[in-house]
Structure 1
Amino acid sequence: MSKEIFSPATLPPPTGYSHIAKVNKGTLVYVAGQVSADASGKMVGEGNFEAQVEQVFKNLTLALEAAGATMADIVKLNTYLVAEVSQDDLPKMRAIRDRYLNKEKPPASTLVVVSRLARPGWLIEIEVVAAID
């Protein structure tokens, strides 16, 4: 597999993400948006943003493993936060994210604030694309 993750000097300096993920060969794995639910579907961390973020990254790890990939294979990450999540909570999310992702070459990423997610109480949803051999 051949993939490049980089940020050209001609774009604004990124903070915790890369501008470009280029996959030349390999298999792409698309993981649907993961939320803070356990294997039984029960919400984890109701009202607790950090607990929800942790569960989302656990679910992403499990989904990627089921497809033969790892968190290191992620080339694109889309994060959706509900509007009630405070800007002050973003460093908490980044600290958890940094435990799971490659901080030296983080994936291309997008963060979007939405009015709500599919179920009341969910505060965050993350979908990813991974590239594997």
Structure 2
Amino acid sequence: MPIQHINPPGLLQFDAMSQVVVASGGRTVYIAGQSASDVNFEVVGGNDYYAQSVQALRNLRTAVEAAGGSVENIVSSTVYLKNLTPEIAGRFLEALAIACEGKSFPPHAFSLIGVASLAGADLLVEITAVAVIDAAVAA
């Protein structure tokens, strides 16, 4: 069964997001919060929301690939942004546009949540996700 992306009339529509994602017939994978940390828990990207977002999305890609999938299999994510403002949200959306080797991260259902802090004092971004692997992606 395929992963189906739906953007119903009457709801906000933009290229980076699907309002509804329907998935069946595959393994469900739950991915822990991915931040801009490297394997030594050192922050990549300094105090830059864009750079940290790119690294967190790359770490998310690494995690889903370790489970045997790809970013196209991600059906939902929750993005936690420290001290969220419209400008900070914009920096994250800019990172989405280039996070996959210069290409846009595939659309999926996601929410942006503002938080006061994350696990590390220097972390600005954390992303949890759900993927359905072994399901075909419908065009």
TM-score normalized by the length of structure 2: 0.83
1:75-86 aligned within 5 A? 75-83=75-83, 85-86=84-85
C-alpha contact (below 8 Å) 1:2/1:26 kept by paired residues: no
Cα distance in 2 between the residues matched to 1:69 and 1:24: 15
Matched, 1:56 2:56: yes
Per the TM alignment, residue 67 of structure 1 is displaced from its structure 2 partner at its CA by 0.6
Cα distance in 1 between the residues matched to 2:39 and 2:121: 18
After superposition, give the CA deviation of every residue in 1:89-133 in whole Å (9 maximum; x if it has no partner): 32322122123322xxx1011111111112211111011111111
After superposition, give the CA deviation of every residue in 1:18-66 in whole Å (9 maximum; x if it has no partner): 1111112111111111011012221112212122111101111111111
Q: How many residues of Structure 1 are paired with residues of Structure 2 in the alignment?
A: 128
Cα distance in 2 between the residues matched to 1:41 and 1:121: 10
Q: 1:23 maps to which residue?
A: 23
- For 1:112, what is the secondary structure of its paired residue? strand
TM-score normalized by the length of structure 1: 0.87
Cα distance in 2 between the residues matched to 1:88 and 1:112: 14
Q: 1:12 maps to which residue?
A: 11
Cα distance in 2 between the residues matched to 1:13 and 1:52: 26
Over 3 Å off, 4+ runs: none
1:1-133 aligned within 5 A? 1-9=1-9, 11-15=10-14, 16-83=16-83, 85-99=84-98, 100=100, 101-102=105-106, 106-133=107-134
Query: Between the two proteins, what is the percent identity of the paired residues?
Result: 30
Aligned-pair RMSD on alpha carbons?
1.5
